[in-house]
Every structure is written in structure tokens, then in C-alpha cells.
Amino acid sequence: MTKYIPVAVGGLSLLMAAGLAFPALAQVGGAAVTIENCGRTLEFDEAPERIVSIGQGTTEILLSLGLADRIAGTATWVSDLPGELAEAGANLPRIAENTPGFEAVVGTRPDMVAVQWINDIGPEQGRVGTFAQFEDFGIPVYVSPAECAKSEFGAASGDGARSEAWSSDLLYREVAELADIGGVPSEGEALIADSREREAAAARDAEALAAEEISVVYWFSSPEIDGEAWLAGGYGAPQWISNVIGLRNVVDSHEEWPLVGWETIADHDPDVIVLGTMKRRNQPADNVALKREFLETDPLTSQMTAVHDGRLVELDAHAMNPTLRAIDGVARLAEAISALGLTR
């Protein structure tokens, strides 16, 4: 990845990291931060000292902002931390690997909860609790802005649907807001500048790919290995990745991860199948080896062009969610697809 970062930008972030002391000192004055979040107004008189982070995407933003020592608890892990964050996040307290209980979260006595998924903590209901439940304890809940635009959390797809397409702008807004709340706005600006540059570099790199129409599906996991599959919809992070690289995602549902039958997928016969890799093991098709085995042995899917011609690409499932890793995903996927020789 780092090879895409021009030296100038790397130098700039170093300078900003060195200058961190000034904004941190400025915060002591107690400039209050007010943020509009999912239809509510959150006010922070001072930067929170004990943050509980639910969702690995949020945790990684906090770590990237250098806020590791303010994290009082984490939950909902999907995979290992990326190399550059491994050291900073080595000793993070984990409340739960998956969804934590309400009492366990409150029990860590946080002065703020930051949550990646609105179906963990939401306005009316949530797997952990509701906004009101946390308000009762005086704990503000910050939800990833990417989630506020979601609706329709049906039984078939617990991840909901979007009313508008996700783009990295929503991610940068989250980074900026969390940096403001945490009292490190310049760290936020540096992270955004760095990410934008990596995004642009990856897009430049993928220009050769965009010359040809390449169709693609993103397979996250499945509730049954040989049943229907959760594929990336037309408004989520994988769609954004596809747009940047110039790929055509054959699924256009507005659901985040619609459940699609292999009949339909085989009928679209995409050029490339992107397989999610993850450490998580709570759905039958979480393991990427099982995904491959199914595709190669099933009498229908083994007939698909992508399987036939060995165009199965592995991508960290975390990069398929609206997180900082989606930025890396652009470069990784562009690289993998040009390695398949799909350029003109």
C-alpha cells in the first residue's frame, strides 16, 4: 500500500504528527464541540476520556487518530488489525468479540460510545440498546454517519438498505467528527488528506482497467454454504470501490448486503468474483476456503466464467464495509484484477 503514497504527503503527515502538541494543548481551554448525528445533536464540553467503540471500523478510526489510550472498551471484531495499527491496538480492552451486552458496555463507565452499526445502537431498537437507554446513563452515542441514511432492517438482511449511495466523503466526515470530539482535529485532517491521496493514487493505477467493462460480484458470506449468498448491493462500499476502479457491480439492490441465489448470480455470470476473507467465524461461509471449495465443486457455480477461468479474488471483508479499509480495498482490488490480466 505505502508505495502509493507520494513522499510529499508522507512528509506532510509527519510534520502534522510532530505538531500534534499544539491542538492538544488548545483543547485544554475546553472549546465545546457540537455535532449533528443521526437526527440528534451531541454536545461535548470536553474531549471524552473513556470511549467504548463498538465495531472494528470505528475502533480503527480512533486508533488512526492516535486515541488508543482513550479507548475503554471495544467490541464487534471482524479480523486482525492492519499492520500499521497492530502496535497501537495491541492491548485494547475487548468487551466482546461480537455484539456486547448493554450492561457490559455501561459497566466500563464510558463517557462516550462510538458505534459503527446503527442496528447495534439505534433510535428505536438495537442489539446492544437504544439511544434513549444510553441517555438515561448520560452517555452520548455517536453513530457512523454512513449508517444514519440506512433503513429497512428486514429479517432477510440485517444490514438494512441505503437511500443514497455511500462514498468516502461520508467516511471522511466521520473521521473529522471523531477527531473534533476527541480534540485532535489536525490529526483528522492529516488522516483525511492521506486517505484522499491513496484513493487518488489507486484510481490512477486502475485507469487501465476502466478501459474495459469488467463485471464483478462481492461475496461477503452466506447463512448456508450451499444456499443463497450475501452479496454487496448497489449503494454500499463495494459499489464505491467499483466506481473508483471502473468495475460494474452486477447487483443493484439498495440493500447493503442482499441475499442472492446462485441461480441469479450464475445467470449474470460476472467476470470476477471477489471473496471476503475474515477471521470472524459466525456464519457458515465466513471461511474463504469454504467459499472457494463451494464455487469449484458445485455443478452450477463451477460452470461460471469467473470460476472456470480462475478469476476469484480475495479481499479483506473489512474493506467491503464502509470503513477506512475500503480505501485500501480500492488499491488491493485494482492490483489483483490487473494481475488477472484483465487489462486491455
Partner 1 sequence: MSYPRRRFPLGWFLLLAGAALLAAGSAAISIGDVRIPLPAILKVLGRQIFGLDLTVDPIREGIVWHYRLSRAVVAAAAGGALALCGCVLQALLRNPLAEPYLLGIAAGASTGAVMVIILGVGAGAVSLTLGAFGGAAAAFGLVALLATGTGGGTERIILAGIAGSQLFNAATSFIVTTSASAEQTRGIMFWLLGSLGGIRWPDAGLAVPVVLICGLLCLRRARALDAFAFGEDAAAALGIETGKVRVELFAITAFLTAAMVSLIGAVGFVGLVVPHATRFLVGPGHERLIPATVLAGAVFMVGADVLSRTVVPGQVLPIGVVTALFGAPAFVAILWRSRRTS
Which residues contact partner 1 by CB under 8 A?
Answer: 156, 223-228, 259-264, 266-267, 269, 281-287, 290, 298-301, 303-304
Of 204 and 308, CB closest to partner 1: 308
Least distance in angstroms from the C-beta of 127 to partner 1: 14
Q: Which triple of cell numbers denotes residue 92?
A: 485494547
Query: Cβ of residue 2: shortest distance to partner 1, in angstroms?
Result: 34
- Name the nearest CA neighbour of 105 among 136, 69, 129: 129
Closest separation between CB of residue 215 and partner 1, Å? Answer: 14
**Nearest approach, Cβ of residue 164 and partner 1 (Å):** 22
DSSP annotation of 101: P
Sign of the alpha-carbon torsion through 338, 271, 146, 75: negative
**Smallest separation (angstroms) from partner 1 to the CB of 239:** 19
Instruction: For partner 1, give the closer residue by CB, 151 or 297.
Output: 297
Q: Count the Cβ atoms, other than its own, within 10 Å of residue 268.
A: 12
Closer residue to partner 1, CB minimum distance, 124 or 263: 263
Q: In sequence order, which residues have a C-beta less than 8 Å from that of residue 73 and are 6 or more positions away?
A: 52, 53, 93, 94, 95, 100, 105, 108, 110
Q: Are strands 150-151 and 161-162 parallel, antiparallel or unpaired?
A: antiparallel
Shortest Cβ 242–partner 1 spacing (Å): 22
Please state the closest distance from residue 222 (CB atom) to partner 1, in A: 10
Strands of the chain, DSSP E: 33-37, 40-44, 51-54, 71-75, 112-115, 121-122, 129-130, 141-143, 150-151, 161-162, 214-221, 229-231, 247-249, 259-260, 272-277, 312-316
Looking at this protein, which amino acid is placed at residue 304? M
Question: Distance (Å, rounded) from C-alpha 253 to C-alpha 251?
Answer: 6
Closest to 244 measured CA to CA, from 284, 286, 195: 195
